[in-house]
Amino acid sequence: MTGFADGTATVEFFGVPGAGKSTIARRLAERLAATGRPVSEPTYELAHQVSSARRYLAKSGYAATGTVRHPRRALAAARAIAESGQPSSRTLVKTTFNWLYVAGVLESRTSGELQVLDQGLAQAAWSVGLGAERDRTTSLCELAVDALSRTGPSMVVVVDLAPETVRERLAGRADGDTRVSPTGDGHAVSEAFERKERVERSIADAIAGNPSVDLVHVDNESRTDLEDAVGVVLERLESEQRRS
């Protein structure tokens, strides 16, 4: 990852539901803010700190802004998602809207700001592929890396853990708000991991030779892994800043 001299960067997290992306992202943002760095958490704030009505309006604003600024990119993404053969028109609209929203969030980053996304375009590509009839992962991941590189230095943090751990965490969720189910009511955990591996490979291929985007792996099997995972990302960011 290059071009980090002024502290500007985007860090987005990627992993299956229950991996702990939001928890790690939140802790990372807290640690960064404690050092005095300007940090934003747009996806976390919209998911956890505003009402449903405000969330929809804000997401719509991001989606509209990103589409207006880069209509060709937005059209290419919408076409790839449509070609994937989503299971219903509702899912097609939802996944397309989510992609455009996150793409708009990337465009909102200001100079000197470190943007932390608990879910980014890699996650959006995973969501599109889950239950799709046709695989458009390569195209979407290429679009994702292109968008990340065009907005400046970026990092995709892959959160790794065992399927058994995910099953336990999802079973303990009170709201059940996930497309992946440990009980068979939704997509299987095994399918979620298969899609993760596919997206991960495609992201790695798209990043190859692109010095402005970095790929980092962290583990989150237990509570003790949380601080270690945050430390890994902080160390990589600090290393890149020294190199710049």
Element counts in the chain: helices (H) and strands (E)? 10, 5
What percent of the chain is helix, strand and coil (3-state, nearest 5)?
A: 60, 10, 30
If you average pLDDT over every residue of the chain, what do you get? 92
Q: Are strands 154-160 and 9-14 parallel, antiparallel or unpaired?
A: parallel
Q: Residue 215 gets which letter from DSSP?
A: E
pLDDT at 49: 86
Mean pLDDT, residues 173-191 taken together: 76
Q: What is the tens place of the pLDDT at every residue in 207-237? A: 997 889 999 999 999 988 999 999 999 999 9
Query: Is there a contact between 189 and 166 (Cβ–Cβ < 8 Å)?
Result: yes
Provide DSSP, 178-197: -SB-SSSSSB-HHHHHHHHH
Q: Locate the domains of the chain by residue range.
A: 9-243
Query: Is there a contact between 13 and 25 (Cβ–Cβ < 8 Å)?
Result: yes
CB atoms within 10 A of CB 146: 16
Q: What is the tens place of the pLDDT at every residue in 81-120? A: 999 999 999 999 999 999 999 999 999 988 889 999 999 9
Query: Is there a contact between 193 and 163 (Cβ–Cβ < 8 Å)?
Result: yes
Higher confidence at residue 3 or residue 125? 125
Mean pLDDT, residues 6-23 taken together: 92
For residue 189, count CB atoms less than 10 angstroms from its CB and return exposed for 0-12, middle for 13-18, buried for 19 or more: buried
Give the global pTM.
0.93
Q: How far apart are CA 159 and CA 11, in angstroms?
A: 13
Q: How far apart are CA 18 and CA 167, in angstroms?
A: 8
Is the pLDDT at 3 greater than 70? The verdict is: no
Closest C-alpha to 229, from 13, 1, 3: 13
Q: Lowest-confidence range among 12-26, 39-53, 120-134, 182-196?
A: 182-196
- Which CATH topology does 9-243 take? Rossmann fold (3.40.50)
Q: How far apart are CA 101 and CA 64, in angstroms?
A: 8
Model confidence at 241, in pLDDT bands (50, 70, 90)? confident
Tokens of 218: 């962290």
